[in-house]
Structure 1
């Protein structure tokens, strides 16, 4: 959330020459910034919607986190945010480095696998809450 991920916009600011600085995951031809990649890209929006989460596109990343915290009202809201961002990033990297088309189904399945790993490591009440939330999601 602090703009440390090497998005194309960050690489551009560091004077790295690329053929394009546009997002590869959508047709909007917008510069791939952190905000765009995880929150305003059409693919990212669909990924969030697949787990029944939506938010206004005009917000900055930290504003999105605060809003999701209020809306989800779950003690594990940050796990959800981090894991969905991770899954979106994995889909992007699969496209960029392995030429595999981004897939909403793959992203959602990967998210469920990651949440299952968190559930496996969780203890007590958190484990039950995560399991219940995942079951409601399916």
Structure 2
């Protein structure tokens, strides 16, 4: 397979696009995380960044939030690469919120109220 470039198309730094860079270290990704109130030091190892994100969220459904934001960043990147849709933090956050609402449909009843309250703060 011929790949035109291995640099990140989402950030101005044009770093090599690795999974860690795309989801955690890219300036676009950092802005997406910040849009839901998550800030971290990007020079830390990946496991420390994820631990920091989990602790800063401080909710029992932090894993769901982390997975959904990773997915939202990934699909925003793919929309840019494959569909020529300009990436925006607002679009990524909107995707995140939409997916989070779908998670609410399957969430344990005991968590739904807390999850709805958390999501309302993000919107």
Q: TM-score range by the shorter chain?
A: over 0.9
Tell me what 1:55 maps to.
40
2:94 to 104, 109, 132: 109
Tell me what 1:8 maps to.
none
Tell me what 1:72 maps to.
57
TM-align CA RMSD: 1.2
In the alignment, structure 1 residue 27 sits paired with structure 2 residue 12: yes
In the alignment, structure 1 residue 40 sits paired with structure 2 residue 17: no
1:34-82 deviations in whole A, cap 9, x for unaligned? Answer: 1110111111111111111111011222222212222222110010100
- How far apart, CA to CA, are the structure 2 residues paired with 1:100 and 1:136? 27
In the alignment, structure 1 residue 122 sits paired with structure 2 residue 107: yes
Displacement of 1:25: 0.7
Matches within 5 A, 1:72-111: 72-111=57-96
- How far apart, CA to CA, are the structure 2 residues paired with 1:69 and 1:107? 20
Higher RCO structure (Cα 8 Å, ≥6 apart): 2
Give the total of aligned pairs.
123
Give the TM-score taking structure 2 as reference length.
0.93
1:83-115 deviations in whole A, cap 9, x for unaligned? Answer: 000000001101111111111111111100011
**Preserved contact between residue 72 and residue 96 of structure 2 (Cα < 8 Å):** yes
Q: Any unmatched runs of 5+ in structure 1?
A: 1-15
